[in-house]
Amino acid sequence: MRIDPKIDYAFKCLFGSEQRKHLLIALLKAVLQIEIADVAILNPYNDKESEDDKISILDVKAKLGDGTFINVEMQVTLSANYAERSLYYWSSLYVEQLGERSEYTALARTVAIHIIDDVLFPEVPAYHVEFAICSVNDPTVRLTDRFALHTIELPKMNLQAESLSSELDGWCYFLRHAEDMDLETLPNLPAASAIRHAMEALKMMFQTERERELYKGRLKQARDALWIKNASRNEGLEEGRKQGLELGRQEGRQEGRQEGIEIALQDLIVRKLADRFGGIVASSLDRIRSIHELTRLDQLVSAAFASSSLEEFEKLL
């Protein structure tokens, strides 16, 4: 089973675990361009975080030796209120510090790092953007150094392995291509030693059935969010259907067997009907699960997107 480190559950397993703290340090050094001797993880990886919680934020909170607070998130899709949400979660980590101290002057620098598998600023060619609170008239005038927010848009980092020049380039390449990379043929990337350790960790992750199911659950949630996002962008029925079908086939290929493709397409149909109409009767669910012909399942995917009512869809079963 290949693991996608962009799925938040896998990302936190990789970078939010005490025994793999060196990977978090390497990633932070690449983003912040500073030396980091050690880091304290404030919310270490715990597999129970996501067991039955679809809205939990599987982020990584940490504290550097100089007192700086860090929050790292991996986001597969962007919500419409991304900016407001980002400020809210940054401010939460900032104001929580008053529980330790009572003086505002003692509040520490707080840095949010958002790694996004989407494009946030299409007009900006750079994939890494750092925000600070500065004067509009003179950006060299900074109100405070307590605020910093980094956005890293993975789709913009589309260089080939041999063209990478920075350690952050290397980490972004790893996050984008880890599912297709092998330890035996790992390219010579910047930060290669740490990335090799990350690859080895991915290979060892999720050895138990429970861990695999938790990962698959978060994977499906991420794909559901992508389908909903595409619908909200009014990309059209056919485009949404094609993308949903391709994601279903990808999930099936990940399972490595024909049965996996069938299950993935069946899941896509059921989830789309639930999203549009609130659910499906047991007899129809049983009928969908009994269909194994891919052409027929493809037709039902189209119907799940196109039908004006659940009754209209059920007539096609």
Place of tokens 């009572």: 102
Residue 313, pLDDT score:
87
The answer on 304 and 184 residing in a single domain is no
Residue 132, pLDDT score:
97
Report if residue 229 sits inside a domain: no
Place of tokens 């020049």: 165
The answer on 42 and 108 residing in a single domain is yes
Report if residue 143 sits inside a domain: yes
The answer on 151 and 292 residing in a single domain is no
Q: pLDDT truncated to tens, each residue of the chain (317 aa)?
A: 688 999 888 999 999 999 999 999 999 999 999 999 999 999 998 766 555 444 456 899 999 999 999 999 999 888 768 899 999 999 999 999 987 667 888 899 999 999 999 999 999 999 999 999 999 999 999 999 999 999 999 999 989 999 999 999 999 999 999 988 888 888 889 999 999 999 999 888 877 777 777 787 777 777 666 655 555 444 444 455 555 555 555 555 554 455 667 777 887 888 788 777 777 777 788 888 888 888 888 888 888 888 888 888 888 88
Residue 54, pLDDT score:
45
Report if residue 290 sits inside a domain: yes
The answer on 240 and 200 residing in a single domain is no
The answer on 248 and 181 residing in a single domain is no
The answer on 247 and 197 residing in a single domain is no
Residue 47, pLDDT score:
65
Residue 237, pLDDT score:
46
The answer on 162 and 46 residing in a single domain is yes
Asked which of 204, 225, 255 is the last residue of a domain, the reply is 204
HSE on the CB side for 153, CA within 13 Å? 16
Contact 3, 207 (CB under 8 A): no
The answer on 99 and 246 residing in a single domain is no
Asked which of 204, 221, 256 is the last residue of a domain, the reply is 204
Report if residue 187 sits inside a domain: yes
What is the enclosing helix (H) or strand (E) of 33? none
Report if residue 17 sits inside a domain: yes
Write out 122-179 in H/E/C secondary structure: CCCCCCEEEEEEECCCCCCCEEEEEEEEEEEEHHHCCCCHHHCCCHHHHHHHHHHHHH
The answer on 199 and 54 residing in a single domain is yes
Residue 156, pLDDT score:
94
Report if residue 20 sits inside a domain: yes
3 state SS of 192: helix
Report if residue 35 sits inside a domain: yes
Residue 256, pLDDT score:
47
Instruction: Report how far residue 276's alpha carbon sits from residue 308's, in angstroms, rounded to the nearest whole number.
Output: 9
Residue 212, pLDDT score:
78
Asked which of 204, 224, 257 is the last residue of a domain, the reply is 204
φ, ψ at 148 (rounded to 5°) = -155, 140
The answer on 264 and 189 residing in a single domain is no
Residue 207, pLDDT score:
75
Report if residue 224 sits inside a domain: no
Strand order in the sheet with 142-153: 39-41, 60-64, 69-75, 110-116, 142-153, 128-134
Domain boundaries, position 157: 8-204
Instruction: Report how far residue 95's alpha carbon sits from residue 311's, in angstroms, rounded to the nearest whole number.
Output: 51
The answer on 191 and 254 residing in a single domain is no
Q: Total domain count for the chain?
A: 2
The answer on 158 and 278 residing in a single domain is no
